[in-house]
Amino acid sequence: MQLSPRSLLVNRTRGSVRLQSTALHFYQNRQLELYAAKEAQRLTLRQLVFFGRSMNAQRLITSANYVRTELPVRIAHRLRDMQALPYVVVMQEGVAKVYELYWSAFEKFRRYPQIDTLEDNEAFCSFLRAILDDHASVIPNLSLGLSLASPHLPPDQLDSFMRRMLVSRISRRVLAEHHIALSDSVAGRDRDTDGDGHVGIIYTGLSVEKSVRRCTALLRELTYDSEHTSPQKGDDARWPEVIIEGHLDTKFAYIREHLEYIIFELLKNSMQATVAKHSGAAQLPPILVTIVAGVDNISMRISDQGGGLLTPQIKSPSDLFSFSHLRNATRLEHSRLGSLRTAVSNPAGMRATVEELVDRWQQEQRQVPDPQVEAGVGRHPRLGIGLAMSNIFARYCGGSLELVSIDGWGMD
């Protein structure tokens, strides 16, 4: 008899299983414990660049086997985390689905045979691509489940669980996507980087100004109808101008998708808030982006005049990152839960490229015909994931994201 991970979970908690399934359950959990007892071998972006710089067949196979053996360890840690959640949380819609996906991925990686040749590696890359696709619904599922579980978990516990889940998901996807990109380079299927150098998925000389311009251009191209609360395609005069100042030649090694996810999300919020606050004005106040290259860090400030966070629901701007309804009451709003359910069943736009964000945003605008100003940032994506994910992306490589509201004026 095969036990599904879900019945495993239920049975574990209820403690009532038939002998045969108990043995299987015991065996599977024993495997999980073996993997969860191992430490994750963390790599910095610098190490990933260093190793990936001089790729050849042998190094690619070493990389493949590292990914093959490292991912089940990291997934095992998260499965253990989920097993430690109270029963009432695990049983929320969405959480059990993520548990099943992770259990199935854990089993597949654990059983995946050693990779010895470039052909083996091609097959492994296809396997990775399929798992990356299968897991596209993880974030809306988790957000839905944890929002519903919010009344049953203290906010600190809920947010730290969610942070661990999301950071570790990013790190696993980075390993898998980086390995696929290295394999593509070795096979001569290199990505188009617009002339910028890259090693795998890491851009070695990523221009911050270019990323801001790229996100601005994408936002300007957006088209959606909302009774003139938002710009229309080609209606340039209705978009606030984006002025970029500071150290314009700043370049650094980073994952472009991560940086642009954050910039796109923040600029989008700033534009929506500015348009909403100044609708009818002859001229919209500009958004100012300041780029500063410090000694060992790079900072950006995006300042808008969209009115700030005037809302009784959110006490501190950082509460927008929280998944607890006690910090961010919008988590339990009917429309938000409904949008998450829709995203769960159609997760195509849940990956972190800016083009996919655009698609998702447009889908969301179509889903909710009744425009409402949410959380003081104008027409905001109904999933409520963008800012929380931007915070996680910023922290993933040791950075941070801070939202400062000057109520009645704007946001930094």
* Residues contacting residue 344 through CB under 8 Å, at least 6 positions apart: 94, 97, 137, 140, 141, 144
Nearer to ligand COI by Cβ, of 172 and 277: the residue is 172
When binding is defined by CB under 6 A, the residue of 76, 79, 95, 138 that contacts ligand COI is: 138
C-alpha to C-alpha distance for 178 and 383, rounded to whole angstroms = 28
- Cβ-closest residue to ligand COI? 135
When binding is defined by CB under 6 A, the residue of 77, 135, 178, 256 that contacts ligand COI is: 135
Identify which range of 22-30, 46-54, 128-136, 208-216 contacts ligand COI by CB under 6 A.
128-136
Q: Give the full edge-to-edge strand order of the sheet including 202-207.
A: 198-199, 202-207, 251-255
Total H helices, total E strands in the chain: 14, 8
Note whether 219 binds ligand COI by CB under 6 A. Answer: no
Please say whether the dihedral angle defined by the alpha carbons of residues 344, 350, 355 and 358, taken in this order, is positive or negative.
positive
Nearer to ligand COI by Cβ, of 176 and 201: the residue is 176
Please say whether the dihedral angle defined by the alpha carbons of residues 190, 194, 196 and 198, taken in this order, is positive or negative.
negative
C-alpha to C-alpha distance for 249 and 185, rounded to whole angstroms = 27
C-alpha to C-alpha distance for 11 and 78, rounded to whole angstroms = 19
- Letters for 46-65 (x = contact with ligand COI by CB under 6 A, - = none) are --------------------
Note whether 105 binds ligand COI by CB under 6 A. Answer: yes
C-alpha to C-alpha distance for 392 and 320, rounded to whole angstroms = 12
Tell me if 35 sits within 8 A of 72, measured CB to CB.
Answer: yes
First to last CA, the chain: 57
Note whether 40 binds ligand COI by CB under 6 A. Answer: no
- In sequence order, the β-bridge partners of residue 243 are 288
Identify which range of 172-180, 187-195, 261-269, 400-408 contacts ligand COI by CB under 6 A.
172-180
Closest CA to 373 of 280, 302, 277, 305: 277
Note whether 132 binds ligand COI by CB under 6 A. Answer: yes
Least spacing, CB of residue 235 vs ligand COI, in Å = 37
Give Cα separations from 328 to 54, 150, 331, 374 (angstroms).
Answer: 47, 10, 6, 11
Strands 202-207 and 198-199: antiparallel
Note whether 71 binds ligand COI by CB under 6 A. Answer: yes
When binding is defined by CB under 6 A, the residue of 169, 258, 351, 382 that contacts ligand COI is: 169
Note whether 172 binds ligand COI by CB under 6 A. Answer: yes
Note whether 165 binds ligand COI by CB under 6 A. Answer: no
Note whether 174 binds ligand COI by CB under 6 A. Answer: no
Identify which range of 47-55, 80-88, 166-174, 217-225 contacts ligand COI by CB under 6 A.
166-174
Least spacing, CB of residue 88 vs ligand COI, in Å = 23
When binding is defined by CB under 6 A, the residue of 95, 131, 208, 340 that contacts ligand COI is: 131
Strands 251-255 and 298-303: unpaired
Note whether 173 binds ligand COI by CB under 6 A. Answer: yes
When binding is defined by CB under 6 A, the residue of 158, 166, 176, 340 that contacts ligand COI is: 176
Report the interface residues with ligand COI, using CB under 6 A.
71, 105, 131-132, 135, 138, 169, 172-173, 176
